Amino acid sequence: MPESQLIIGLMSGTSLDGVDGVLAAFSSSDNAPAHIDTVATAYLPFPPVLRKELMRLQAPGDNEIHREALVANQLAELYAECVDKLLSETSVDPTQVRAVGVHGQTIRHRPELGYTRQTNNPALIAELCGVDVIADFRSRDIAAGGQGAPLVPAFHQAVFGNSDTVRVIANIGGISNISVLGCDGDILGFDTGPGNVLMDAWVAEHRGVAYDANGLWASGGNVVYALLADMQAEPYLAVAPPKSTGRDLFHRAWLAQKLAGFPNLNAQDVQATLATFTATTLADAIAQNARNALEVYVCGGGAYNAHLMQLLQQALGERNHPGLVHSTDILGVSPNHVEALAFAWLAYRHINREAGNLSAVTGAKGSRVLGALYPK
Ligand SMILES: Nc1ncnc2c1ncn2[C@@H]1O[C@H](COP(=O)(O)OP(=O)(O)OP(=O)(O)O)[C@@H](O)[C@H]1O
Ligand SMILES: CC(=O)N[C@H]1[C@@H]2OC[C@@H](O2)[C@@H](O)[C@@H]1O[C@H](C)C(=O)O
């Protein structure tokens, strides 16, 4: 009889939209890789005041330590609420949950300086929920000389890997990252550049909405090719992996700098250009690193942007790449749940004292058990 463990994964990513949670059952027998079942999912949007404060903390400002500590407590309360929701909807008692794996909220990511910060208060989550909490998954990889990101490629391999065909998993969240899963178990992965972060900022400014639903606004604009070329000249894009990025680089001021050379542009045309920028950076990364991948599976919120998915397919075609673009839905995991499930999986690895990083991806000196435990 395989032994089953219930683990919760919580992710709040660079889009700063809210918290995704999954309650997952991990069963394993005879040293076989764990089988994972999603038992329940939950999503809690950030209250506007919290989102605003998190946004403020993305850049240097006054009294940051104090503000960060207060935000960490508010976040922990929201994470605990997400745990409660998952448990009450499934009538599961906290004593039945082996652990909560929680990413926290990235407010700085500077691996080149030896640090990354995911603000959080895991001690408070443990106190509020009465469950073991595992947090701070990135620091150990950075301590070992790695980028601390992306961490999901090992999880992608565990759930989406296939020995018959090379697969690409492309996450389009705030930032985009790819995992190239070879048939022989070889894995490559890195952050390709912005996902939705710049498009979200621009549409919020000009249309007052959180995101361009289905890419409808972008699809009605005209791409400004000279602006696109300036964006594509961003040095990060030409850096060889291992590499990772975030709002530290791709922020509103980055966009302002690119736009400075193009006064009086139509706002909708800028949105069209940003959508094409996201699609082409992903397509370039796939064409250069996964030449023979026939299958490209997209997860993250960008998978719900039909226009962006179409642009990605088109950009692959323009690069003579054979890949067909699908959503991870057809592999049985909803695009919205992949990252939260990954943090449940990373917690499972921690519990079993198994490595969570892939040094071939992050550039760390070796495999490391990731995360810190806050016992209940
Ligand atoms: N229907 C939709 N149409 C267009 N865009 C959408 C749609 N649904 C979600 N999105 C986009 O997806 C984003 C959220 O994606 P997701 O939750 O994957 O990001 P994240 O987890 O914060 O990011 P990261 O992977 O960088 O940590 C939204 O901000 C929005 O831009
Ligand atoms: C520092 C940080 O929070 N990085 C995130 C971000 O969001 C997407 C991309 O950039 C990825 O590198 C990473 O998240 C996923 C979960 C990862 O580590 O694989």
Task: List, for residues 237-294, the tens digit of each pLDDT value.
Answer: 999 999 999 999 999 999 999 999 999 999 999 999 999 999 999 999 999 999 999 9
**Is pLDDT above 60 for 1?**
no
Question: Looking at residue 280, what DSSP letter applies?
Answer: H
Residue 43 confidence class, pLDDT cut points 50, 70, 90: very high
pTM of the model: 0.98
Nearest protein Cα to ligand 2, atom 6 = 175
Transcribe 100-112 into DSSP letters: EEE--EEEEEEGG
| Residue 52 pLDDT exceeds 70 | yes
Which is the closest atom of ligand 1 to the Cα of 301?
12
Which stretch of DSSP H or E encloses residue 301?
A: none
Cα(310)–Cα(316) distance, integer angstroms:
10
**14 labeled binding residue:** yes
pLDDT at 2 over 70: no
ipTM of this predicted structure: 0.99
Ramachandran region, residue 170 (left: φ > 0; alpha: ψ -120 to 50; beta: rest): beta
Instruction: Please name which of 176, 352, 105 lies closest in space to residue 370, comparing C-alpha atoms.
Output: 352
User: What is the CATH number that goes with domain 152-331?
Assistant: 3.30.420.40
Identify the CA nearest to 178 among candidates 302, 58, 274, 272: 302
236 versus 3: the higher-pLDDT residue is 236
| CA 181/CA 290 separation, integer angstroms | 9
* Domains of the chain, residue spans: 3-150+337-374, 152-331
Ligand 2, atom nearest to 137 Cα = 18
Q: Who lines ligand 2 at CB under 6 A?
A: 13-14, 106, 109, 116, 149-152, 171, 173-175, 177, 191, 244, 246, 339
d(CA 368, CA 356): 6
Instruction: Report the amino acid identity of residue 308.
Output: L
Percent of the chain with pLDDT over 70: 99
Asked whether the domain spanning 152-331 has the same topology as the one spanning 3-150+337-374, the reply is: yes
Q: What is the DSSP letter of 369?
A: -
Give the CATH superfamily of 3-150+337-374.
Answer: ATPase, nucleotide binding domain (3.30.420.40)
